[in-house]
Structure 1
Amino acid sequence: MFVLFCLFVCASAGRFENVGEVMTGQPHEVPTNSTKVLAAARFAVVEFNRANTEDVFVYEIVNITSAKIQVVAGINYILEVRLGHTVCKESNKADSKPCDFQSKELQCNFIVTEVPWEDSRVLTQKKCHPHND
């Protein structure tokens, strides 16, 4: 009888252990306006513009449509970001004035991997396609 009781308790505990918890490795939604999400998104766009050498005009964030984090050997920021093509050139961007947008927009999926204890941040994935309303 005691053995059956132990089996029942163990089986019941297994059903409730993950309620309200985030499992390591499992992505979960976070607010798109959180400070860390905004920093990761800005970093992704800077890296995207740096790699986009054939275009003299830079892209800027229109909005962040989705944000998730995933705790692995660091933190993955999994972002869906809509970018607007601006009339500012990279060389003119340093003056921090707002740039007007052109009509061209991209929908991008970025993954930024951050390892805080190593002071490391890398854009590990970027996939963009034209945004259609």
Structure 2
Amino acid sequence: MASLQRPSLPLLASLALTFILAVGLVTSAKAEDEQVAVGRVEPVDLKDEEVQKAVEFAVKTYNDMINDLYISRPIKVMGASQQVVAGKNFYLKIKFGRTTCSKTQSDLTDCPFFEQPDQQQRVICNFKIYSVPWENKMSMTSFNCHRA
């Protein structure tokens, strides 16, 4: 009758150490991948609720800052990306058109754009919006605009 030998203690210790090292390497590789994603600027879906809030904030802040009697509204959001930091940075590229509605009007959602070329004032702006959703905070870090 064949006898079953018990594995020696050094063999078991060696196998355990090999297993721990293998699991550690896999975990370490995954952690490095996740660290690379934090801080990386990546494209976002324009339909995302957070992106929509950032666009709305950029439009409102832009209109508050410009020295014009008329409101401007987006013609098109040309690009959007985000960067995960201690919160999120949103990078937005928005093409604006000047509307016929004054800033004193309350309902600005259906304001038509000026049709006369000398009144249109089309601009393209790049915004950096910093958001900390769990603190319900949003701020414009920077923006620059040029005529379209």
TM-score range for the pair, normalised by the shorter chain length: 0.7 to 0.9
CA RMSD, Structure 1 to Structure 2 (Å): 2.9
Matched ranges for 1:1-133 at <5 A = 18=33, 23-52=37-66, 54-92=67-105, 94-102=106-114, 103-131=120-148
> How many residue pairs are counted as aligned between the two chains?
123
Q: Say if 1:76 and 1:111, in contact at 8 Å, map to a contact too.
A: yes
Residue aligned with 2:121, SS: strand
Larger Rg, first or second structure (1 or 2): 2
Structure 1 residue 33: Cα displacement: 2.7
Instruction: Write 1 or 2 for the structure with the bigger share of strand.
Output: 1
* Structure 2 gaps, min length 5: 1-20, 115-119
Instruction: Write 1 or 2 for the structure with the bigger share of helix.
Output: 2
Q: Say if 1:32 and 1:65, in contact at 8 Å, map to a contact too.
A: no
The separation in 2 between residues aligned to 1:130 and 1:37, in whole angstroms, is 24
Q: Say if 2:96 and 2:124, in contact at 8 Å, map to a contact too.
A: yes
Residue aligned with 1:25, SS: coil
The separation in 2 between residues aligned to 1:81 and 1:48, in whole angstroms, is 11
The separation in 1 between residues aligned to 2:35 and 2:73, in whole angstroms, is 35
The separation in 1 between residues aligned to 2:134 and 2:109, in whole angstroms, is 33
Query: Structure 1 segments of 4 or more deviating over 6 A?
Result: none
The separation in 1 between residues aligned to 2:109 and 2:132, in whole angstroms, is 31
Question: So what's the TM-score if we normalise by structure 2?
Answer: 0.71
* Structure 1 gaps, min length 5: 1-5
The separation in 2 between residues aligned to 1:32 and 1:119, in whole angstroms, is 20
Amino acid at match of 2:111: C
Q: Say if 2:87 and 2:131, in contact at 8 Å, map to a contact too.
A: yes
The separation in 2 between residues aligned to 1:118 and 1:97, in whole angstroms, is 28
Residue aligned with 1:99, SS: coil
